[in-house]
Amino acid sequence: MPTMPANGIELDYDCFGATGDPCILLIMGLSAQKIAWDEAFCQQLADAGFFVVRFDNRDVGLSSKVRGAPFPDLAAAFAGDFSSCSYQLEDMADDAAGLLDGLGVDSAHVVGASMGGMIAQTLALRHPEKVRSLCSIMSTTGDRSVGQPRPEAMGALLAPPPQSRDEAMERAVTVNRVIGSPSYPADEAAVKERARRAWDRDHDPEGAARQLLAIMAQADRTRALGDLRAPTLVVHGEADPLVDVTGGRATAAAIPEARLVVIPGMGHDLPVELWPEIVIAIADNAARAATPAA
């Protein structure tokens, strides 16, 4: 797969659809590689008339890893000390902006899931000219009073990292049972296969911990989001145990004229049964942009 220099690092990416179509940039969440955006989901977006770009965030997959940085001290971070934080969500947003520049895309419809939604919001704040429309999925504003995880979800998130491919596959199933959609049970064979592919591409628990530190250190964006003018869609599962639905509601309330779609029975994943509904909602939101994306 190709890589692109961006913001002083290299990002691994791939594309779906015709380059002449409006661009959708997909930004994935904590520790998740670009393949967490399923190829079939990307193809549905391409079939809806978009040029789709997905990529590995820094520190996961085949994108650049941070070297020579402090060991990520999560215990200190939970106590309010973020001195071991190697980068911020703002840096990750600038990575995405650099990828668009490298691709020759002046502006895109930006879709982020979970941490990717936080990055997408930050991208829209730091580089508003690059965001034709915004879709924030199962994410939140940085306000600690909303979007907080349930204890069992946080426990799954902070479990010791797997030490082998088989452990990674089994852990993926265990985590999905905790945070996945109760009304749309996942195909556990597919969950294992995606975990196998991710392990074989790369496995770096320190990278995931550094990303988590960036989340923990994020600022509250609520007031700043009030300045956004890009058409915005907020999608959230009503049953999300990792980022409570209050996070999505707060995001939609903060952004002028944002549209909120709360899906009953959806947790912290993207069930295949919901892809058509989500793709249509993304396309409808993109159509609200005043002019086509470059």
Chain segment 79-135, per-residue pLDDT in tens: 999 999 999 999 999 999 999 999 999 999 999 999 999 999 999 999 999 999 999
293 pLDDT higher than 70: no
CA distance 253 to 260: 9
How confident is the model at residue 290, as a pLDDT?
64
Q: What are phi and psi of 29, to 5 degrees?
A: -95, -165
Q: Domains of the chain, with CATH numbers?
A: 3-287 (3.40.50.1820)
Q: What is the DSSP string of 22-33?
A: PEEEEE--TT--
CA distance 251 to 125: 13
pTM value > 0.95: yes
CA distance 166 to 111: 31
CA distance 290 to 114: 27
Other beta carbons within 10 angstroms of residue 221's beta carbon come to: 23
Q: Which comes out higher in pLDDT, residue 237 or 290?
A: 237
The whole-number average pLDDT for the span 247-270 is 98
Assign 261 a pLDDT band (cuts: 50, 70, 90). Answer: very high
Distances, alpha carbon 30 to alpha carbons 33, 51, 146, 190, in Å? 9, 24, 18, 20
Q: What tokens does 114 get? A: 């979970």
The whole-number average pLDDT for the span 211-232 is 97
How confident is the model at residue 69, as a pLDDT?
85
Nearest to 95 by CA among 143, 70, 61: 61
Query: Cα dihedral sign for 187, 190, 192, 194?
Result: negative
Helices (H), ranges, the chain: 39-47, 74-78, 89-103, 115-126, 151-157, 165-179, 188-201, 205-216, 222-225, 245-254, 275-287
Task: Decide: helix, strand or coil at residue 126.
Answer: helix
What average pLDDT is seen over the chain?
96
Nearest to 40 by CA among 187, 232, 238, 217: 187
**Using N-to-C axis directions, what is the helix angle for 188-201 and 165-179, rounded to 10°?**
130
Strand partners, 134: 110, 232
CA distance 71 to 77: 12
How confident is the model at residue 68, as a pLDDT?
85
Nearest to 212 by CA among 66, 64, 68, 88: 88
